[in-house]
Amino acid sequence: MLVRYFGAAQAAAGVAEERLDLAAGSLDTVLERITARYPQPVRAGRPAMPEVLARSSFLLNEVALRDRGRVLTADDVLDILPPFAGG
């Protein structure tokens, strides 16, 4: 699965995108895995991923995803979109 990070999520991960090798799982499962990868800020002064994910919205294959139980697969693209200033 390709995970793309935007704004504060990118700052928290330290990368713009990455591939996660995982079997099918719910959005919540994927977010737990991301939180486990980045439990602390990657650099001082950066946001911590758990806080970023708590206030983010998500796109699955460029469509808004609100069902946290939705099963994602290895071929999916997940965008993590924290709130943006001014919008």
pLDDT at 85: 60
Reported as a pLDDT band with limits 50, 70 and 90, residue 86 is low
pLDDT tens for 21-33 read 877 789 999 999 9
60 secondary structure, DSSP code:
E
Evaluate if residue 74 carries a pLDDT over 80: yes
Residue pair 65/55 in contact (Cβ under 8 Å)? The answer is no
pLDDT at 35: 95
Reported as a pLDDT band with limits 50, 70 and 90, residue 58 is very high
pLDDT at 70: 92
